[in-house]
Chain A
Amino acid sequence: MTMRIFRKILTDFAIGKRRLHVTTNLSSFYERDRKSGYKIVYDRPPPEQNLSIIGRLREGCRQFKEEFGIWLEEMREKFKMDPTLIYRSNEVDVAWRFNRDPKSLDQWVITCDSDYEEGFSTAKLELSPIGTGIFSGTLSTRLPKDGRIKNAGFCNITTIPKQKSFKRDVCHDWTPYTHLILRIRGDGRCYTLNISTRGIFDLMWNDVYHYVLYTRGGPYWQYVRIPFSKFVFTSKGRLQDDQTVIMLHEVTNFGISLGDDINGHFKLEIDYIGLECDEYHNEEFAYESYNFSGVRF
């Protein structure tokens, strides 16, 4: 008994318990994972399968067969060598469309700050009676009282990454196009269009190109046509000094987000999102591309 008390006094020594005071500041730009430490939240959680070993083998074989079929299709396409050569102007190639098809909703991931306990906004994406997609919800700039969050209030929809056979991620190749086309019906609020071109190094994981989408509101459809040259380069939402033209062959995701600091409901109806090539659009980049190599900043 006395031994135990003695040991406790020895081990629970106050100095031994003292810890270094660590602040939240990052000492380097090293990123551990692609989500910058945010937890993974599912809109549609993957189905849980409790399979036996035989069942798992069978499931694997089934998936392999399926993927092999897709791979064969890709190979056939490759050896046919029949790419689109002429992109006529005013002809829109639709990239995403909600065509009364509930499966088209699976192409999108809905995110808002309440998913990560950083705010109280809610958002949803659903089909309207006439078959278009409706991105709606409530934006709230109320801060959670954790003393860490300074600004709150965002809602976002992002496409899932494009995949080829055997679930390999690939980029969209939008090089032949010059314009982004949207047919939308908004509510008068101001949204942001995000095109992320995620690179392989951690420094490029958060590269996103942004542009603003002003909506008119009202019952009339709005046809939005934005040249890719107007998109500004940001990383983690911060405008970069060294602006570059968007790499259209490495587009990984496209997203629309709302974060205009106005509390209240929102509704954005989307018919389709498409791409267009305008041969008379010669602007490469709308912003000054200064050479910063000699500037100490």
Chain B
Amino acid sequence: MRGVLAWNKDFALLKRSPFKIAGPASDRTSYIRDFHTSRFRSKDNKEDDKSSALVLHAFANAERKEKEAYLDIIREYKNNNELRRGHVEFIQVALKYMDDFGVNRDLAVYKVLLDVLPKGKFVPTNAFQTLFMHYPKQQYVAIDLLCKMEKNCVIPDVEMQDMLLNIFGKHGAPLKKFWRMMYWMPKFANLNPWPCARPAPKDPRILARLAISKISSVDVQTKIVEFETKDIEDAIEDTWIVSAMSSIQERLLETQSLNSPVCVEGPYTVWVVDQCIDYFVLRGESRKHNEYEDIDDVSNIKIPFWDEKEIVPAPTVHEQNDGTYFAMCATGTSTKDSLLSWIRCLQKQNPILNVIPVIFKVSSFSKEQLYIDTEKSKDKVMHVKE
């Protein structure tokens, strides 16, 4: 409508070459902007006027889902595209595909994506614009971007603040979100007592070591040893075993009575970041400790002078109420044979295992997933206890 009016009113003006907007603060900005856009609309400029649908599908159609391809699409959109038509939709779609491209924890990518928004254009110039949410869609999409960062535990930096200030000015809603994030996120960033690098390492051996060290952090004396099954004579499989045993546990195992057997039990699961690791335990019966005496009970007073003096050592951390834990391990294959190799490895250090009967209580595996299928978890094969 505005274009038509302009056409009728001032034809000669349109023939002129387009204005260059000096700055957002200029008085005649809005007037010039109208002519500017209508000029571009009336012009049949294929280079500048890119079809945004093509760009939006670029994420879905990308051959390699990786960081470079993702950045290429953003670069393609930005290049020779001064109007940046549909930039809100573009950022929305780009945010949606971040997880697929594996860039959802990359601060640099978030910055490149935020850079799509033009600088200076959305800065409010008077109090009313500030009051009534200047360019709300653009502000909401920037908040969405920050929320996505928050969800993926990416702490923004000062450069991001400068970018947001240049885009929305200091009164913008995204800035408020940003400042809240910068206030709270560093407070909670290092809370985890068992920190782990993100993304989690892919090598199962490193993961198993992380998992075992996480579990055995209960006893600082624990030594984590990695065995190779090929070192054992009769081993069928060639795999690795990550085993944890502390000197307290060795002493406990020495004092274990030969009549009561010890069990190898498992697999139990433990989570390291977003990976699930199976582990096995070497467990014995729980030990009887001196019962708690009611000190108010005076019916049978013990006179300590002619009693035998005995010192009861405090139960160690490995003596839990459902059993005594002697060792823990995670193996590459989680099979019975690898567990047998584990016991053989432990026998060198603990000769008592040659004498004590060892029972294997290993639940069978199934390839059936306990997981609800997502596209991400399809490539993982999870062993599930039946």
Q: Which residues of A contact B (CB under 8 A)?
A: 120, 130, 138, 140-142, 151, 187-190, 212, 214, 216-221, 239, 241, 261-266, 287, 297
* Contact of B370 with A218 in the complex, beta carbons under 8 Å: no
- Residues of A with C-beta under 8 A to B376: 263
0/1 per residue, B265-291, Cβ < 8 Å to A? 000111111101001010100000000
- Residues of B with C-beta under 8 A to A265: 269, 276, 370-371
- Residues of B with C-beta under 8 A to A190: 192
- Residues of A with C-beta under 8 A to B151: 151, 261
| A-B interface pairs (CB < 8 A), number | 90
Closest to A266 in B: B271
Interface size class of B (residues with CB under 8 A): 35 or more
* Contact of A219 with B325 in the complex, beta carbons under 8 Å: yes
Smallest CB–CB gap between A268 and chain B, Å?
11
* Contact of A187 with B184 in the complex, beta carbons under 8 Å: no
Q: A214-B194, A287-B187 are in contact. Are A138 and B270 (CB under 8 A)?
A: no
* Contact of A239 with B320 in the complex, beta carbons under 8 Å: no
Smallest CB–CB gap between B210 and chain A, Å?
10
* Contact of A187 with B193 in the complex, beta carbons under 8 Å: no
0/1 per residue, B215-234, Cβ < 8 Å to A? 11110000000000000000
- Residues of A with C-beta under 8 A to B191: 212, 214
- Residues of B with C-beta under 8 A to A264: 271, 276, 370-371, 377, 382
- Residues of A with C-beta under 8 A to B270: 187-188, 217-218
Identify which of A138, A212, A216, A297 contacts B176 (C-beta below 8 A). A297
> Which B residues, 144 to 172, have Cβ-Cβ distances below 8 Å to chain A?
151
- Residues of A with C-beta under 8 A to B371: 138, 140, 263-265
- Residues of B with C-beta under 8 A to A266: 271
**How would you classify the secondary structure of chain A's contact residues: helix, strand, loop or mixed?**
loop
* Contact of B215 with A263 in the complex, beta carbons under 8 Å: no
Q: A220 to B322: give the CA distance in the assembly, Å.
A: 10
* Contact of B372 with A216 in the complex, beta carbons under 8 Å: no
Q: Which residues of B contact A (CB under 8 A)?
A: 151, 176, 180, 184, 187-188, 191-194, 211, 214-218, 268-274, 276, 279, 281, 283, 317-318, 320-323, 325, 328, 370-372, 374, 376-377, 382
Known: A218-B218, A219-B215. 13 other contacts (CB 8 A): A120-B372, A138-B372, A140-B374, A212-B188, A214-B192, A216-B218, A220-B215, A220-B218, A261-B151, A262-B271, A263-B372, A264-B377, A297-B176
Q: A190 to B192: give the CA distance in the assembly, Å.
A: 9
Q: A214 to B195: give the CA distance in the assembly, Å.
A: 10
* Contact of B217 with A216 in the complex, beta carbons under 8 Å: yes
Q: A255 to B249: give the CA distance in the assembly, Å.
A: 36
* Contact of A216 with B214 in the complex, beta carbons under 8 Å: yes
Closest to B377 in A: A263
- Residues of A with C-beta under 8 A to B370: 138, 264-265
Smallest CB–CB gap between B326 and chain A, Å?
11
Q: Which of B187, B211, B218, B372 has the most CB of A within 10 A?
A: B372
- Residues of A with C-beta under 8 A to B176: 297
Q: A120-B372, A140-B372, A265-B269 are in contact. Are A220 and B193 (CB under 8 A)?
A: no
Smallest CB–CB gap between A6 and chain B, Å?
38
Q: A188-B211, A212-B188, A264-B370 are in contact. Are A220 and B317 (CB under 8 A)?
A: yes
Closest to B321 in A: A130
- Residues of B with C-beta under 8 A to A130: 321-322
Smallest CB–CB gap between B263 and chain A, Å?
12
- Residues of A with C-beta under 8 A to B214: 188, 216-218
- Residues of A with C-beta under 8 A to B271: 187-189, 217, 262, 264, 266
Closest A-B pairs by Cβ, 3 of them: A218-B215, A217-B270, A188-B271
Q: A151 to B273: give the CA distance in the assembly, Å.
A: 19
Q: A218 to B211: give the CA distance in the assembly, Å.
A: 9
- Residues of A with C-beta under 8 A to B276: 264-265
* Contact of A142 with B374 in the complex, beta carbons under 8 Å: yes
Smallest CB–CB gap between B262 and chain A, Å?
14
- Residues of B with C-beta under 8 A to A239: 180, 184
Q: A216 to B371: give the CA distance in the assembly, Å.
A: 22
- Residues of A with C-beta under 8 A to B268: 218-219
- Residues of A with C-beta under 8 A to B374: 140-142, 263
Identify which of B184, B188, B325 contacts A220 (C-beta below 8 A). B325
Q: A216-B215, A261-B151 are in contact. Are A142 and B372 (CB under 8 A)?
A: yes
Smallest CB–CB gap between B149 and chain A, Å?
14
* Contact of A214 with B193 in the complex, beta carbons under 8 Å: yes
